[in-house]
Amino acid sequence: MSSSEEPRVVHPRGSGGASEVPEARMPVLADVAQLAGVSQQTVSRVVRGSGSVARRTRERVEQAIAELGYRPNVAARTLVTRRSHRIGVVAANSSLYGAATTLAGVQEAARAEGYSVSLVMLPDLSPASVQGALEELRAQYVDGAIAVVPEDASQEAVRAAEAAFPCVLAPGLDGAGVPDAYWAEVAAAREATHHLLDLGHRTVHHVAGPSDWAESRARSTGWRTALVERLRTVPPPLRGDWSAASGYAAGRRLVDLGASAVFVGNDHMAIGVLRALAEAGLSVPGDVSVVGFDDVPEAAYLSPPLTTVRQDFTEIGRRCVRVLLGRLHDHVVEPGEVTPSLVVRSSTAPPPALAADSGAPGTADATAG
Amino acid sequence: MSSSEEPRVVHPRGSGGASEVPEARMPVLADVAQLAGVSQQTVSRVVRGSGSVARRTRERVEQAIAELGYRPNVAARTLVTRRSHRIGVVAANSSLYGAATTLAGVQEAARAEGYSVSLVMLPDLSPASVQGALEELRAQYVDGAIAVVPEDASQEAVRAAEAAFPCVLAPGLDGAGVPDAYWAEVAAAREATHHLLDLGHRTVHHVAGPSDWAESRARSTGWRTALVERLRTVPPPLRGDWSAASGYAAGRRLVDLGASAVFVGNDHMAIGVLRALAEAGLSVPGDVSVVGFDDVPEAAYLSPPLTTVRQDFTEIGRRCVRVLLGRLHDHVVEPGEVTPSLVVRSSTAPPPALAADSGAPGTADATAG
DNA sequence: ACGACGTTTGGCAACGTTAACAATGGCGGC
DNA sequence: GCCGCCATTGTTAACGTTGCCAAACGTCGT
């Protein structure tokens, strides 16, 4: 319909030829303006919803926009506004539940605020690569960036980049100091440890994540704090890398150590620990109690269902966006508190000595092969 | 250094005042040109690496670029070239391993090709929301899009959008027909089922994903094919939604049905199935054999370690990018084959009747919990 | 030595939008 | 009935880059 006339002349750029196929150019402001019989500026005002436009005029313009299927060209807008309405996100290229879910939260919140998201996933989180990613993002002229990189050295890189353009660290760290999210995790880890101690365990072993991750340190700190508060001995923590494989390795050590209670830095590693214990013929929670962290969706369906700390990563992601967007508009936003909560399932119980008064270790395991 | 003079005059746009703070504008082509004593055009040529520039000139320009920290403005470049060098990705807002890993592959490959990635994550995969996401992406003037939406109705939406701008469906479907990836999954599911039959199971039950997902249908088809090939009865498949919770529900049904072998549509659901079986006091693989699909990193550490089909989602993501970029440059790229492979672990074994020669066929609740 | 030719460089005009300012119209107050 | 004000609309000039064209430069063959 309406092949009445080409709204605009063919520009010499095309390729000079006169008998050129129209090739369906995207309509631009000028096309709408011509169709509606107004100036570009008026159309622009209607599109942006700013300025005052007479009711009748607006309707006419909207009609023209609909008819042409006009979409504002973000590149042109960005060029003149110096605002891309895009934020960058740099995240680790891992299947880690926390990072993935945080990303989802960031995406959702950004979209809700009319911002689009540019993603850079990194195979490794070295400071150099994080810095490179941030540079890349800046070169794309994003308005700001969110870095889901809880690893220490990389956070330094983010801080450095912050001077050049607005960045927010996903765990909730801001430039000023230690974030609420950090202390919330410490508190939650402490609570989880207390839960185990309350059940009667003399002490609680710990499988920690990489030592240079803020989250890992927060959880370890909470664990240690609880132990110290109750005057228990603090066994040296075992190290993992968040993966089930590393949890399995740690689990085997725990068997050797004769641990009766373990607080594991995340659920993935807890799965590995569970496996190692099962292989050793130890039952959970009969012989050993295990607590994880994150509450991945599968946690309730492990054998046994895992007691763990639920962390609302989606909300963390949303808050990052809120903080970043706040910074972009020059008003400070308090990150606010995100409180993880302990979810008690079936992987924790009193230690064998208490459960059956003279219980011999290594009793019933549900999944004997 | 070099506070000699402002490279460019303050534009009236600024705010008219004469004693304005320089406010650290980003350097532009003109600044570099002035510093290097050449024209903008020459700088542009150096930046793009196209056209011929004398060696000495290029060095001078590069020097100036480095000194100023110049970065080309992508918005301006996009405006004039009509190429944003960005691709959009729409994916489900789920923690599904497959989708997340595919996304990583897409990101990696795109980045390697000099493309940035705009991400839209959807809470639901309704055709309307997928279509909306695609529209949104198009409004952002991405060069093309990759849709990681294996759900049927949504794929229709993608096909429709394809007319407007280049889209690729992540599972590997292309406009022409059924993709290699689809048949590869069928073959793998068939192989997994044969594996169970070869162990001596009379038939194999199946926990399928949502019926309107292509991947789900592929896996179901493979399972059914294997059964038919061997002239076995085909039990009605149970439906899940990919989640461990739904797998658990299906697992309880399987217990009632007295299944001895199960092929589950993905590992997450398999975790739920494992849990249901354990709760019923059935041992895996002693009483029931279970095969999953995807090979999530935790699969090897479940109790028991899960026999499953490994799918290389990262590679699928990479191929999507290759196909899309190919289409953008007007040369067709064959998606090529991605072959999933069966990984046999400890969750499969001969059925009880064969293992213990005189085992009662029906129930076998040998290990009461 | 001269013209043809290839290499290197610069000038100009877009790309599609928004900001600032100017111009037009209608309205009420005096 | 005239003036000034507000609401509405139009005009102009950027934003920073690239594509096309032409000019300047040097080299080579005859």
Residue-level length of chain B: 369
Query: Most distant CA pair in chain B: distance in Å?
Result: 99
Examine domains B29-72 and B82-170+315-328 and report if their fold is the same. no
Provide the chain A residues 226-265 that lie in CB contact (below 8 A) with chain B. Answer: 243-245, 247-248
Under the banding of pLDDT at 50, 70 and 90, the label for residue B50 is confident
The CA-based angle A144-A146-A149, given to 5 degrees, is 145
A355, A313 Cβ separation under 8 angstroms? no
Å: B83 CA to C10 C1': 26
Look at residue A121 in the predicted model and tell me its pLDDT: 93
Question: First and final CA of chain A: distance in angstroms?
Answer: 72
Residue from the list A301, A366, A367 with its beta carbon closest to the beta carbon of B272: A301
Report pLDDT digits (tens) over B294-311.
999 999 999 999 999 999
Under the banding of pLDDT at 50, 70 and 90, the label for residue B354 is low
- HEC readout, A35-91: HHCCCHHHHHHHHHCCCCCCHHHHHHHHHHHHHHCCCCCHHHHHHHHCCCCEEEEEE
Look at residue B24 in the predicted model and tell me its pLDDT: 62
Look at residue B335 in the predicted model and tell me its pLDDT: 66
Q: Which CATH number among 3.20.20.70, 3.40.50.2300, 3.40.50.300, 2.60.40.1180 corresponds to the domain B82-170+315-328?
A: 3.40.50.2300
Report pLDDT digits (tens) over A135-144.
889 888 899 9
| Type and span of the H or E element at B333 | none
What is the homologous superfamily of the domain A83-170+315-328 according to CATH? Response regulator (3.40.50.2300)
Provide the token pair at B20: 């304005």
Beta carbon of B44 within 7 Å of strand D?
Answer: yes
**Yes or no, beta carbons of A119 and B120 under 8 Å apart:** no
Å: B72 CA to C7 C1': 26
Residue from the list B93, B111, B136 with its beta carbon closest to the beta carbon of A120: B111
Reported for A228-235, long-range contacts at CB under 8 A and 24+ positions apart, including other chains, are A229/A190, A230/A194, A230/A197, A232/A197, A232/A202, A232/A203, A232/A204, A233/A203, A234/A203, A235/A203, A235/A205, A235/A206, A235/A259
User: Which residue did the predictor score with more confidence, A357 or B161?
Assistant: B161
**Yes or no, beta carbons of A120 and B118 under 8 Å apart:** no
| Distances in whole angstroms, Cα of residue A324 to Cα of each of A89, A123, A140, B75, B199 | 11, 25, 17, 22, 57
Is 80 exceeded by the pLDDT of residue A146?
Answer: yes
The CA-based angle B43-B44-B48, given to 5 degrees, is 120
Give the least confident one: A25-29, A69-73, B21-25, B304-308.
B21-25
User: Which residue did the predictor score with more confidence, B11 or B164?
Assistant: B164
Residue from the list B73, B244, B296 with its beta carbon closest to the beta carbon of A301: B244
The DSSP call for residue B213 is B
Residue from the list A104, A296, A301 with its beta carbon closest to the beta carbon of B275: A301
Beta carbon of B34 within 7 Å of strand C?
Answer: no
The Cα A162–Cα B81 span in angstroms is 31
Helix (H, G, I), strand (E, B) or coil at B202: coil
Closest chain B CA to residue A92: B104
Average pLDDT for B23-32: 82
The CA-based angle B120-B126-B127, given to 5 degrees, is 90
| Distances in whole angstroms, Cα of residue A252 to Cα of each of A238, A259, A282, B124 | 11, 10, 11, 41
A314, A165 Cβ separation under 8 angstroms? no
Is 60 exceeded by the pLDDT of residue B17?
Answer: no
Under the banding of pLDDT at 50, 70 and 90, the label for residue A4 is very low
Which amino acid is residue A166, in one-letter code? P
Average pLDDT for B155-180: 70
Task: Count A/B contacts: CB-CB distance under 8 Å.
Answer: 154
Under the banding of pLDDT at 50, 70 and 90, the label for residue B121 is very high
CA closest to D7 C1', residue: A52
The DSSP call for residue B294 is B
Provide the chain A residues 105-164 that lie in CB contact (below 8 A) with chain B. Answer: 107-108, 111, 116-121, 123, 136, 138-141
* Residues 46-85, chain A, CB closer than 7 Å to nucleic strand C: 47-48, 50, 70-73, 76-77, 79-81
Look at residue A155 in the predicted model and tell me its pLDDT: 78
Provide the token pair at A26: 């995207």
Average pLDDT for B258-265: 97
On strand D, nucleotides with any atom < 7 Å from a protein CB are: 7-12, 14-21
Beta carbon of B38 within 7 Å of strand C?
Answer: yes
Look at residue A338 in the predicted model and tell me its pLDDT: 76
Any idea which residue has 């029906």 for tokens? B362
Helix (H, G, I), strand (E, B) or coil at B98: helix
Beta carbon of A41 within 7 Å of strand C?
Answer: yes
A169, A175 Cβ separation under 8 angstroms? no
In chain A, residues with a C-beta closer than 8 Å to the C-beta of B280 are none
Average pLDDT for B104-131: 91
Q: Provide CB contacts within 8 A for A185, sequence distance 6+.
A: A215, A218, A219, A222, A311, A340
Give the least confident one: A199-203, A356-360, B91-95, B119-123.
A356-360
- B29-72: CATH topology is 434 Repressor (Amino-terminal Domain) (1.10.260)
User: Which residue did the predictor score with more confidence, B7 or A262?
Assistant: A262
Look at residue B176 in the predicted model and tell me its pLDDT: 42
Helix (H, G, I), strand (E, B) or coil at A114: coil
Q: Where are the domains of chain B?
A: 29-72, 82-170+315-328, 180-307+344-355
Å: A286 CA to D16 C1': 69
**Yes or no, beta carbons of B121 and A103 under 8 Å apart:** yes
Question: First and final CA of chain B: distance in angstroms?
Answer: 79
Look at residue A26 in the predicted model and tell me its pLDDT: 84
Is the CB of residue A339 less than 8 Å away from at least one CB of chain B?
no
Å: A52 CA to D2 C1': 28
B310, B343 Cβ separation under 8 angstroms? yes
Beta carbon of B79 within 7 Å of strand D?
Answer: yes
Per the prediction, chain A carries an average pLDDT of: 85
Look at residue B356 in the predicted model and tell me its pLDDT: 53
- HEC readout, A290-323: EECCECCCCHHHCCCCCEEEECCHHHHHHHHHHH
Look at residue B166 in the predicted model and tell me its pLDDT: 87
Rounded to the nearest 10 degrees, the angle between the axes of helix A40-48 and helix A29-36 is 110
Under the banding of pLDDT at 50, 70 and 90, the label for residue A175 is very low
B200, B349 Cβ separation under 8 angstroms? no
Average pLDDT for A76-100: 90
Q: Provide CB contacts within 8 A for A227, sequence distance 6+.
A: A193, A197, A203, A204, A233, A234
The Cα A220–Cα A232 span in angstroms is 15
Helix (H, G, I), strand (E, B) or coil at B285: coil
Is the CB of residue A28 less than 8 Å away from at least one CB of chain B?
no
- How far B136 CA lies from chain A's nearest CA (Å)? 9
Q: Which nucleotide is nearest to B71 (CA to C1')?
A: D16
The DSSP call for residue B330 is T
Is 80 exceeded by the pLDDT of residue B337?
Answer: no
Alpha carbon of residue A311 to chain centroid: 11
The Cα B31–Cα B4 span in angstroms is 13
**Yes or no, beta carbons of B297 and A368 under 8 Å apart:** no
Report pLDDT digits (tens) over A298-345.
999 999 999 999 999 899 899 889 989 988 887 777 766 778 999 999
- B180-307+344-355: CATH topology is Rossmann fold (3.40.50)
Is the CB of residue B24 less than 8 Å away from at least one CB of chain A?
no
Residue-level length of chain A: 369
Taking the CA atoms of B166, B167, B172 and B176 in sequence, report the sign of the dihedral they define: negative
Q: Which nucleotide is nearest to A54 (CA to C1')?
A: D8
Look at residue B139 in the predicted model and tell me its pLDDT: 81
Look at residue B51 in the predicted model and tell me its pLDDT: 79
The Cα A7–Cα A68 span in angstroms is 11
CA closest to C16 C1', residue: A76
Å: B52 CA to C9 C1': 10
The Cα B206–Cα B176 span in angstroms is 30
B84, B78 Cβ separation under 8 angstroms? yes
Look at residue B115 in the predicted model and tell me its pLDDT: 94
For the residues of A152-210, what is the DSSP string, one character each? Answer: HHHHHHHHHHHTTS-EEETTS--SSSS-HHHHHHHHHHHHHHHHHHHTT-S--EEEE--
Is the CB of residue A278 less than 8 Å away from at least one CB of chain B?
yes
On strand C, nucleotides with any atom < 7 Å from a protein CB are: 7-12, 14-21
Is 60 exceeded by the pLDDT of residue A17?
Answer: no
Query: Most distant CA pair in chain A: distance in Å?
Result: 98
Under the banding of pLDDT at 50, 70 and 90, the label for residue B164 is confident
Helices (H), B230-312: 244-257, 267-279
B107, A120 Cβ separation under 8 angstroms? yes
Look at residue A354 in the predicted model and tell me its pLDDT: 61
Beta carbon of B78 within 7 Å of strand C?
Answer: no
% of chain A at pLDDT higher than 90: 59
Beta carbon of A40 within 7 Å of strand D?
Answer: yes
Burial of residue A52 (number of CB atoms within 10 Å: 0-12, 13-18, 19+): exposed
User: Which residue did the predictor score with more confidence, A116 or A168?
Assistant: A116
Is 70 exceeded by the pLDDT of residue B338?
Answer: yes
Look at residue B247 in the predicted model and tell me its pLDDT: 97
Is 80 exceeded by the pLDDT of residue A189?
Answer: yes
User: Which residue did the predictor score with more confidence, B208 or B49?
Assistant: B208
**Yes or no, beta carbons of B95 and A297 under 8 Å apart:** yes
Beta carbon of B13 within 7 Å of strand C?
Answer: yes
Residue from the list A93, A100, A271 with its beta carbon closest to the beta carbon of B298: A271
Taking the CA atoms of A79, A81, A83 and A84 in sequence, report the sign of the dihedral they define: negative
Is the CB of residue B57 less than 8 Å away from at least one CB of chain A?
no
Is the CB of residue B102 less than 8 Å away from at least one CB of chain A?
no
In chain B, residues with a C-beta closer than 8 Å to the C-beta of A97 are 95
Q: Which nucleotide is nearest to B39 (CA to C1')?
A: C10
* Residues 53-112, chain A, CB closer than 7 Å to nucleic strand D: 53-58, 76, 79-80
Give the least confident one: A63-77, A205-219, B15-29.
B15-29
Å: B11 CA to C20 C1': 12
Mutating which of A74, A119, A134, A295 best tests the B interface, going by the most B Cβ atoms within 10 A? A119
Look at residue A229 in the predicted model and tell me its pLDDT: 96
Q: Provide CB contacts within 8 A for B176, sequence distance 6+.
A: none
Look at residue B11 in the predicted model and tell me its pLDDT: 38
**Yes or no, beta carbons of A298 and B271 under 8 Å apart:** yes
The Cα A319–Cα A335 span in angstroms is 6
Look at residue B362 in the predicted model and tell me its pLDDT: 42
